[in-house]
Structure 1
Amino acid sequence: MPLPFSGLAIAPETPPMEAKLGDEIPAGPGWQFEPKWDGFRCLAFRDGDAVELMSKSGKPLGRYFPEVVEALAALRERRFVLDGELVLPVGEVLSFAALQLRLHPAASRIEKLSRETPAQLMLFDCLQLGGDVLLDKPLSKRRAALEGFLRRAAGPRLHLSPAAGDPQVAAAWFERSGEALDGVIAKRTDAPYRPGERAMIKVKQQRTADCVVGGYRTGKHGIGSLLLGLYDGVGKLDYVGYTSSFSDADRAALAELLAPYEGPSPFTGSAPGGQSRWSAGRSTEWTPLRAELVAEVTYDQVTAGRFRHGTTFRRWRPDKRPDQCTQDQLAHELSPAALEQVLAEIA
């Protein structure tokens, strides 16, 4: 009996092509622009009855998204390798937190979630279709093959990611989609697919938020990080993340700046956590500050009401009242259907 996926020219361990960060949307001819989706990047493999979704790190994802595997297995084409992003719409919002909940050891839990909040696969590249291996073909040929394939295969679980050839259209996505769009990916239309290489360009939204500085943690050189809060709709201050982008000299000076503001914890909603299994022995003790200082930070993404990663400190905002630092500043991703409608209106 042949091994699963032995009929494909591309091994399941093949890493996807990646992107390097760019400062601006490239100008000039020969570029294709696509929305940057906020989900799990994956390659989809099918060889006869065998179907698998492989993560960017080379780990199988299929068991966590049975509804997507089922959709791929139901297609007439029995051999393909596709590149895309797993996303999970909850209402009009893409929920990264709901995606993370799928990575659960219990099959019964996964099956329940797959029915209640089914995921979708946004497809944007085609590496093999039937017996045709497209890795060395230019993007223009691969995109044409993908579009033809999805004209026959698109459904509620499988979608073609929008694309545009005009940089002004891509710039308009930023301007008119507000903060719903996480970024833009730029690809050369004449370039082959380069597995594992940073052969694309991603331009991300510069999102900012004014936050209450509600405390700090110390490090080797003074202040290690500032703990950030935002007020919810009923006036409670929730912990939303941290910023630690300071030089050693700045860290030492921060201790003197913050000392007069030390007081009781201002976090009346969710507060910074203590020791956890992720702390790896590091101290998580923190010093509370009165809710009087406001800092502007740059962030990339929000998950479950918190900054997914550490933010970048931009400046102090003495002109801003703490009670003006509310959660409605945060960006919320639109669902694929809602965002595609916005992009169609722009184009």
Structure 2
Amino acid sequence: MRPMLATLTESVPAGPQWVHEVKWDGMRVLVEAKGGALTVTSRTDRDVTVAYPELVPLADLYDDMVLDGELVALVDGRPSFAGLAERMHVGNARRAAALASSRPVTLMAFDLLRLLGQDLTSQPWAARRQLLEQLEIDGPRWQVPPTYDDGEGLLDATADQGLEGIVSKRRASAYASGRRSPDWLKLPHRHSESVVIGGWRREVGGSLLGAVLVGVPGPDGWDFVGRVGAGLAGRAGAAVLHRLRPIERGGSPFASHVPREDATGTTWVEPEVVIDVASLGRASGRLRQPSYLRVRTDLTSADLWETTDG
């Protein structure tokens, strides 16, 4: 079984057939309790149980149960993806136990997929949710967060509180394991910022622009902050490439390290073209889920430095 995925939307769906939840900035997992043992599986079907020992007591609640949810690291009461990052790839049990004590995670359980041998995925969301709430499983390191009827109000509230966004779910929807469904719609609050292009890469198997490498002003020069490919298909990518061709150069313009997987196959350019990108912020210095918005013909790379200097 794999998680059901939400489809990106640009507006909040209206009507009584929809219910709305907070979109948590964390790591999607399926949590299975069976026969006194616990298994935590990532969205990519990887067993990550060893990394989260604080969840093990969940296995004592029910003899057979599968929960869908999000692991979050709460910092000052708010989810912090950066705070979660160092927990995500820990394979050593002793280190995981130490981190569980100093930087614990919380499971936000929002769906119930199996209980006591009964597969619930064909049941409507409303029935699964009612049963999940009846389990009363809230504990020190896991909880069932509330749902809301007012999607627009929740969107405004999550923006005010600095949360990631909202997810809207059709009350009658079955659980589409491993599929992206229009019955679940996600609307994140995406941050927009201006960055400079330092290189470009071809699309896989083609000659057109597939992605650009971007940076921002740093203490020693341009700091590499990631690769942007979303939004650059078709005419948008062709227009950006037209601007980059005349300013190609022999080496990287970034003062900070560019990982090999990003640098390999990159055509470097002078850091002159400024674009706006939308993202979910940064983790470990890299843009999260960035997408191209537009070329800023009104800005030069020097303008970015002036903004940084205050």
Q: What TM-score, normalized by structure 2, do the two folds share?
A: 0.80
Q: 1:238 to 1:79 in 2, by over 3 A?
A: same
SS class of match (2:186)? strand
8 A contact 2:73–2:83 mirrored in 1? no
- Residues 47 and 80 of structure 1: is their aligned pair in 2 closer, same or farther, counting only changes over 3 Å? same
Per-residue CA deviation, residues 55-96 of structure 1 (Å, 9 max, x unaligned), is 233332212211112x30343x33322111112234555125
CA contact (8 A) 1:40 1:87 kept: yes
Instruction: Return the offset for 1:131.
Output: 6.2
Partner SS state of residue 54, structure 2:
helix
Show the counterpart of 1:40: 27
Structure 1 residue 210: deviation in Å? 0.9
2:152 matched residue in structure 1: 168
Question: In the alignment, which residue of structure 1 is the partner of 2:93?
Answer: 107
Q: Distance in 1 between matches of 2:151 and 2:191?
A: 21
Gaps of 5+ in 1: 1-13, 329-347
2:298 corresponding residue in structure 1: 318
Alignment of 1:92-131 (within 5 A): 92-96=78-82, 98-99=84-85, 101-130=87-116
Following superposition, the deviation at residue 36 of structure 1 comes to: 1.6
**1:240-270 Cα deviation digits (max 9, x unpaired):** 11334254643552234535xx6996644x2
Q: Is the 8 A contact 1:297 1:315 kept in 2?
A: no
Whichever residue aligns with residue 315 of structure 1, its letter is: V
The answer (yes or no) to whether the contact 1:293–1:322 under 8 Å persists in 2 is no
1:59-74, aligned counterparts within 5 Å?
Answer: 59-69=46-56, 71-74=57-60
Aligned position for 1:192 = 174
Structure 2 SS opposite 1:297: strand
Match of 2:194 among 182, 194, 210: 210
Higher strand share: 2
Which amino acid in the other structure matches residue 170 of structure 1? Answer: L
In structure 2, runs of 5+ residues without a counterpart are: none
Question: How far, CA to CA, are the matches of 1:138 and 1:224 in structure 2?
Answer: 40
Deviation at 1:123, TM superposition (A): 0.7
Alignment-derived partner of residue 53 in structure 1: 40
1:240 aligns with 2:225: yes
Q: Distance in 1 between matches of 2:189 and 2:227?
A: 19
Using the TM superposition, give the Cα deviation of residue 209 of structure 1 relative to its aligned residue in structure 2, in angstroms.
Answer: 0.8
Alignment partner of 1:113: what SS? helix
Secondary structure in structure 1 of the residue aligned to 2:132: helix
Looking at structure 1, the residues matched to 27 and 90 of structure 2 have their Cα atoms a distance apart, in angstroms, of: 15
Paired residue for 1:305? Answer: 285
Q: Is the 8 A contact 1:19 1:202 kept in 2?
A: yes
Aligned to 2:125: 139
Does 2:135 align with 1:149? yes
Question: In the TM superposition, what are the counterparts of 1:275-290 in structure 2 within 5 Å?
Answer: 275=260, 278=261, 283-284=264-265, 286-287=267-268, 289-290=270-271
Do 2:166 and 2:188's aligned partners in 1 also have CA atoms closer than 8 Å? yes
- Establish whether residue 294 from structure 1 lines up as the match of residue 274 from structure 2: yes
Cα pair 2:199 2:252 within 8 Å, conserved: no
> Which amino acid in the other structure matches residue 217 of structure 1?
W
Alignment correspondent of 1:342:
none
Q: Hey, what's the Cα distance between the residues in 1 that align with 2:84 and 2:155?
A: 29
Aligned partner of 1:159 in structure 2 is 143
Q: Is the 8 A contact 2:201 2:265 kept in 1?
A: no
Q: Distance in 2 between matches of 1:93 and 1:231?
A: 27
Q: CA deviation at 1:188?
A: 1.4
The 8 Å contact of residues 230 and 326 in structure 1, kept in 2 or not, is answered as no
**Partner SS for 2:10:** coil
